[in-house]
Amino acid sequence: MSIPLNISIILQGKTVESERLEFKKSWNPTAIMRTVGAFANDFENLGSGYIVVGIEEENGMPKRPVYGFPTEDFDKVQKQMLGFCNLIRPTYFPKLSLEEIDGKHVLLIWVNAGSNRPYEVPKDVLSNQKEYAYFIRRFSSTVQANTEERRELINLTANIPFDDRVNHRANIADISSILIQQHLKGINSRLYEESFRISHLELCRQMNLVEGSDEYVLPKNVALMMFNPHPEKFFPATTINLTEFPDGLAGESFIEKNFDGPIQQQLVDVSSYIKNQVIKSKTVKIKGEAIAKSFYNYPFAAIEEALANAVYHKNYEIREPIEIRVLPEALEIISYGGTDPSIRKDDLNNGVIRARRYRNRRIGEYLKELRLTEGKGTGIPTIRKALENNGSQPAYFDTDGVDRRFFIVTIPVHPDFIPLTTVQSNQDKPESNQDKPESNQDIQKKESQEYSLQKLENELFMPEQTIKKSVLIRMLEVLEYCVTAKSKVEILQHISLSKQSKNFHQYLEPMISKGLIERTQPDKPTSKHQKYFTTAKGKSLFINNHNV
């Protein structure tokens, strides 16, 4: 039996991270079965794992040329594995394959994330007295789960990721053999040649795309998302919508384009469109230097990574498409669901990422095989580095806390591509009649404002933070202006600021997060019809100032 992924790609350690890969020089049943249990438990929803027998490990990397596995032992090991796997509770069977590398054979054990986790395995499968335990992967090692991890593992029993669940509204005929074969050919898998000689059902089973008996076989959701030409039939709004606003959101003209088909094809198509139609370059000759400087309005590497993350981490149970908005000042990518709640928004913006668990483990596997995304935790740093190298401002990441109803990546346009504006803050204009004496009413009004500004600063910021008074004044103006609901554009125009997303993030986001302002459509934060209004808490900062 061949596996879907090429052994050479596995050994590179890029498509398959170290957490999902273990090397053994020789056949060691006890250690190997512990790792089988750990991969099947898939504690962090990383997807399937691979155990390669016949390769020594050196500093975490496979030692080449490989040591090799004796082919004459293959049948004996298969029989032993059958007995050992029957000891697992509940019973679990991985897939075994002999693979050739460096002119020798190695034994590859492919362990899919189990659908009936958690799995207990004997601590020593060779012992007469079997003592059972739960094992998990911690980084690149197999360890016994402690009390807290064991409790959490048991709680995952009914929590199978959406993409790995079976779909009762579809059947195996809804999975396209042609699309599967295109995928296998693209990743240079030996299973591609074999796929023409085996049945459609067997091919789907070897790809772990179906579940159930031959009489009642059901496809998994990932099979319908990636190997059906119209996944939106099963998962409404599983598309990517791109809209260009040449004059901003308030402008009357826009260009809209929709991308559908298998989700990996959507990702390829929209990336190609952006690369060819949206991204522009500029070359500037620097005085005194022989080499001109070239840069882009958006570095493609940043957009490519952000798009892959959106497809990977989207909550496909939410019937909303992935949205891309190309604005004069930024490119926004909006997906519904987003990263695991264990990742805080501050961590995203600081580039410190350590995901606790992943939403779509199977989609992630396939995207990595196709080289459309990299290993875990690399997306945000890749975006930050690409923007920095291009001379662009940092990206901004926005989400709504533990609910994770939406996730927005805002990639600012390079400063040299920002349209020229003459917007100037009212606070920056020179004051007239400076020598005119202040009346008692003016003094009282000024004192009232100072009182409100102080309260606003205390509400929004930490004592050690230094905030410009002009920022606080604008925020107070927003609170007063939004007594009746206003749109984002109306608000920014009112305080004499351009429609750049960074202005929204600086002036409105802090007040929204503290409950001073709320959205009129909280369940659709990115709606074009969204408006914002001042809450009772917000009104308390400027109404009857001295008596509050």
Residues 140 and 174 reside in one and the same domain: no
Q: What backbone phi and psi angles, to 5 degrees, belong to 399?
A: -155, 175
Of 62 and 398, the structure prediction assigns the larger pLDDT to 62
Residue 448, domain member (yes or no): yes
Q: What was the pLDDT predicted at 404? A: 66
pLDDT for residue 544: 45
Q: How confident is the model over 75-104, as a mean pLDDT? A: 95
The tokens describing 526, both together, are 């990115």
pLDDT band, very low/low/confident/very high, at 350 (cuts 50, 70, 90) = low
Do 214 and 114 share a structural domain? no
Q: Is pLDDT larger for residue 376 or for residue 41?
A: 41
Cis before residue 161, ω within 30 degrees of 0? no
**Is the predicted pLDDT of residue 313 greater than 50, yes or no?**
yes
Q: How confident is the model at residue 345 (pLDDT cuts 50, 70, 90)?
A: low
Give one word for 371, left, alpha or beta, with left for phi > 0 and alpha for psi -120 to 50.
left
Most confidently modeled range among 119-128, 425-434, 451-460, 524-533: 119-128
What angle do the packed helices 263-273 and 300-313 form, to 10 degrees? 160
According to the model, what pLDDT value does residue 377 have? 60
Q: Which residues pair with 210 in a beta bridge?
A: 219
The yes-or-no verdict on residue 430 having pLDDT over 90 is: no
Q: Are residues 339 and 202 in the same domain?
A: no
Q: Which of 342, 418, 409, 344 is closest to 382 using CA atoms? A: 409
**Is residue 423 predicted with pLDDT exceeding 60?**
no
Band (pLDDT 50/70/90 cuts) for residue 444 is: low
* Cα distances (angstroms) measured from residue 353 to each of 194, 310, 375, 397: 40, 16, 12, 12
* 383 and 291 within one domain: yes
Tokens of 176: 């396209």
Residue 346, pLDDT score:
63
One domain, residues 101 and 139? yes
pLDDT score of 234 more than 80:
yes
Least confident of 153-162, 462-471, 536-545: 536-545
Residue 458 has pLDDT above 90, yes or no: no
Where does the pLDDT of residue 37 fall: very low under 50, low under 70, confident under 90, or very high at 90 and above? very high
The pair of structure tokens assigned to 527 is 């709606």
Q: What is the CATH number of the domain that holds 282?
A: 3.30.565.60
Most confident of the ranges 84-88, 189-193, 406-410, 489-493? 84-88
Mean pLDDT of the chain: 86
Q: Which amino acid is at 327?
A: L
Both 180 and 109 in one domain: the answer is: no
**The tokens of 59 are what?**
């500093």
Residue 402: inside a domain, yes or no?
Answer: yes
Q: Is the pLDDT of residue 450 over 90?
A: no
The domain boundary residue, chosen from 382, 417, 452: 417
Q: Pairing relation of β-strands 21-24 and 49-53?
A: parallel
**149/98 same-domain check:** yes
For the segment 461-479, the average pLDDT, to the nearest whole number, is 82
Range 383-401 average pLDDT: 88
pLDDT, position 416:
87
- By CB atoms closer than 10 A (0-12, 13-18, 19+), residue 531 is middle
Identify the band that residue 546 occupies on the pLDDT scale cut at 50, 70 and 90.
very low
Instruction: Look up the CATH number of the domain holding residue 486.
Output: 1.10.10.10
Q: Looking at the structure, tell me whether residues 246 and 174 fall in a common domain.
A: no
Mind listing the pLDDT tens digit for each residue in 12-22?
Answer: 776 788 889 99
**8 Å CB contact between 263 and 344:** no
What total of structural domains would you count in the chain?
4
The answer to whether residue 424 sits within a structural domain is: no
Can you give the pLDDT at residue 446? 61
What is the predicted pLDDT for the residue at 291?
77
**Is residue 321 scored above 50 in pLDDT?**
yes
Percent of the chain exceeding pLDDT 70 equals: 86
Describe the chain by its helix, strand, coil percentages, rounded to 5: 40, 20, 45
| The predicted structure's pLDDT at residue 311 | 94
Of 100-104, 156-160, 174-178, 330-334, give the lowest mean pLDDT range.
156-160
Residue 427 lies in a domain: no
422 falls within a domain: no
pLDDT at 324: 96
With respect to residue 300, please indicate whether it lies within any of the assigned structural domains.
Answer: yes
* Whether the predicted pLDDT of 441 surpasses 80: no
In a domain, 391, yes or no: yes
Domain boundary among 131, 159, 187: 159
Are 262 and 398 in the same domain?
A: yes
- The residues that bridge with 61 in the sheet, in sequence order, are 58
202 and 305 belong to one structural domain: no
Does the pTM exceed 0.85?
A: no
Same domain, 175 and 149: no
* Same domain, yes or no: 145 and 266: no
Of the candidate ranges 28-37, 127-136, 303-312, 458-467, the one whose mean pLDDT is the lowest: 458-467
pLDDT for residue 96: 94
Cβ(52)–Cβ(144) under 8 Å?
no
Q: What is the distance between the alpha carbons of residues 230 and 237, in angstroms, rounded to a whole number?
A: 11
Is 431 inside any structural domain? no
Range of the domain at 357: 240-417
Q: How far apart are CA 146 and CA 139, in angstroms?
A: 15
Give percent of the chain with pLDDT exceeding 90.
53
